[in-house]
Chain A
Amino acid sequence: MLIKIPAPSACKENQVTDEKIYHQRRAIIKSLGFMGAASLLHTSKASAFNLFGDDEKTVFATSALDYSPAKHYVTDDIYTPEDKVINYNNFYEFGTGKSDPVANAQGFKVDPWHLTIDGMVEKPITLGYDDLFKKLALEERIYRLRCVEAWSMVIPWIGFSLADLIKQAQPLSGAKYVAFETLYDPKQMPGQRSRFSGGGIDYPYVEGLRIDEAMHPLAFMAVGLYGKTLPPQNGAPIRLVVPWKYGFKSIKSITRIKLTDKKPPTTWNLLGANEYGFYANVNPEVDHPRWTQASERRITTGGLFNQSRIPTQMFNGYDEVAPLYKNLDLRRNY
């Protein structure tokens, strides 16, 4: 057996190897990956391959909020752990993979921010960043979130009702719809830079509600979750939450709310009208053309063996909105 005793004067490896080259070893190991091209494409999806990744980026700083704890809007459902809520997101502006937003959004700037409410209103207003947290009293609400992809979460949001916000601008009686718009800033949002990285969407992302839907007490503007301000991947600094509709209606990082008398275009409807309607109410009776909407997988704690498939409820269990649609054929108006 050869035991090598280096002379005290001998160079150590880190003295002769340039640190840059030393760090390339990870790149080499990565590129040797058996799954080849796909492992490069898929580092975000199969975290088994993140083994060699150095993902120690700075995390977006959230801050604690002052709010009244949930009283009216509570549920017996088990909450989705915070860690899952903030690491598993659809926010194509930051990439189409579920873990792309958390990876690409940490440098997102939310202050200064401008949220304008205009269109058919008496008094157009613009809220700055601080106004978002001060203009209206903050309350907590526990809502179920049902994604159109047939998974769901239970999330404690913090914010205020959309109706209270809209009332600040004094809507005109002719206003029939409310149109929402996400920030358009390709410098900060890599998905907006090309059709390839952003899932083929024409940005900015737009959404809309009928005015009576928007004024319903359940419609909520969230500025925080789990007691703190929103992280960017969840739609900082302010987003919509309409719990009786599929998740894509709950538009994120909003810069403009416009009241109008015409039905506004909505992003996913433009992308595939036969799959995504304007209303997008959670409805177990109307399947997505490519998958069933009769049941969903609830994301809670535990691994593979704790995933529970539960029946999907009409309006995601929020029956109080049913009167809004009593004269509407929900099969045709999906």
Chain B
Amino acid sequence: MAFRLNHKYIIALKVVIHLAAFIPLLYTFYLASIDQLSADPVKALLHFTGISAFNLLLLSLLVSPLAKQLRQALLINVRRLLGLYAFAYALCHFLVYIFFELQLNWTLLLSEIIKRPYITVGFAALLILTALALTSTKTIQRKLKTKWQKLHNWVYLAVLLVALHFIWSVKSDITEPLIYWAMSLILLSQRKDKLKQWWQKRKRQGQASKSTS
């Protein structure tokens, strides 16, 4: 009999995720507050929260392919936690930007979101993650029924927007963003059947609405 993850392992895994995600966040903010995080703590915090949010988002997308591959159905139970931490880091990223980079200059915030494409797509991704986080509870999931899955498929768009946000934000060296693009596309390719289905359905709907009009 092959090894099966039971609930005890899942709880242990969740504890590990909590520790590994929460402590670095706290500690990095602490270092920044006592001026021990590089000469420009704001920039360092922005990079740290941004890249960590991306890592967590990719990890959350890794869960279901991994569960399928390893035949560990229970593994799916850690997906929400990873997704919520991805959202938490993304929110911190945005808050650091507002509070410490722009220092609460609201007009500047608004104009930057509109004028700078990389900020626009980053902000759009954050909105998607917010919607997903707010609808992540079991109760809401049950209430939304099939709509829930449709809504949460938006995460695929979010990951592409985040990858775009990253590659547009760097000054010259795009090696690292390209690595992240590759990781994102590999994870999305695991869902190619699903995406294909969705695409064909849309095409059919498009044709249907054309023929009726």
Contacts and interface: CB of A to CB of B under 8 A. Distances in A.
Interface stretch (A2-10, A11-19, A203-211, A291-299): A291-299
Contacts of A199: 171-173
B35 A303 contact: yes
A201 B41 contact: no
Interface string A217-238: 0000000000000000000000
Interface stretch (A40-48, A122-130, A316-324): A40-48
Given A35-B55, A96-B173, A304 B41 contact: yes
Contacts of B32: 303-304
Contact of A299 (B27, B39, B54): B39
Contact of A48 (B24, B108, B174): B24
B25 to A, nearest CB: 9
Interface residues of B, number: 48
A84 B172 CA distance: 23
A135 interface: no
A45 B44 contact: yes
A34 interface: yes
Contact of A42 (B39, B47, B103): B47
A47 B38 contact: yes
B172 A47 contact: no
Contacts of A92: 172
A295 B101 CA distance: 11
Contact of B40 (A96, A98, A291, A309): A98
B38 A38 contact: no
B51 A47 contact: no
Contact of A45 (B24, B47, B100, B172): B47
Contact of A47 (B33, B37, B171): B37
A45 to B, nearest CB: 5
B20 to A, nearest CB: 4
A134 to B, nearest CB: 32
Contact of A88 (B39, B55, B175): B39
A287 B48 CA distance: 26
B21 interface: yes
A67 interface: no
| A36, A46, A294, most chain B CB atoms within 10 A | A46
Contacts of B117: 290
Interface in A112-138: none
Contacts of A36: 55
Q: State the majority secondary structure of interface residues on A.
A: loop
Given A36-B55, A98-B40, A307-B41, A48 B100 contact: no
A168 interface: no
A297 B29 CA distance: 19
A290 B39 contact: no
Contacts of A42: 47-48, 51
A92 B112 CA distance: 28
Given A36-B55, A290-B116, A151 B41 contact: no
A177 B41 CA distance: 39
Interface in B29-66: 29, 31-45, 47-48, 51-52, 54-55
A174 interface: no
Contact of B35 (A38, A45, A98, A301): A301
Interface in B96-151: 100-103, 105, 108, 111-112, 115-118
Contacts of B112: 291-292
B168 interface: yes
Interface in A275-305: 287, 290-292, 294-295, 297, 299, 301-305
Given A46-B28, A292-B108, A302-B35, A297 B168 contact: no
Given A45-B38, A92-B172, A304-B35, 7 more contacts: A47-B38, A88-B40, A98-B40, A271-B172, A303-B34, A304-B41, A306-B35
7 contacts: A38-B51, A42-B47, A47-B31, A198-B173, A201-B172, A295-B108, A304-B45
Interface of A: 34-38, 41-42, 45-49, 80, 83-85, 87-88, 92, 96, 98-99, 149, 151, 196, 198-201, 271-272, 287, 290-292, 294-295, 297, 299, 301-309
Interface of B: 20-21, 24, 27-29, 31-45, 47-48, 51-52, 54-55, 100-103, 105, 108, 111-112, 115-118, 168-169, 171-176, 179
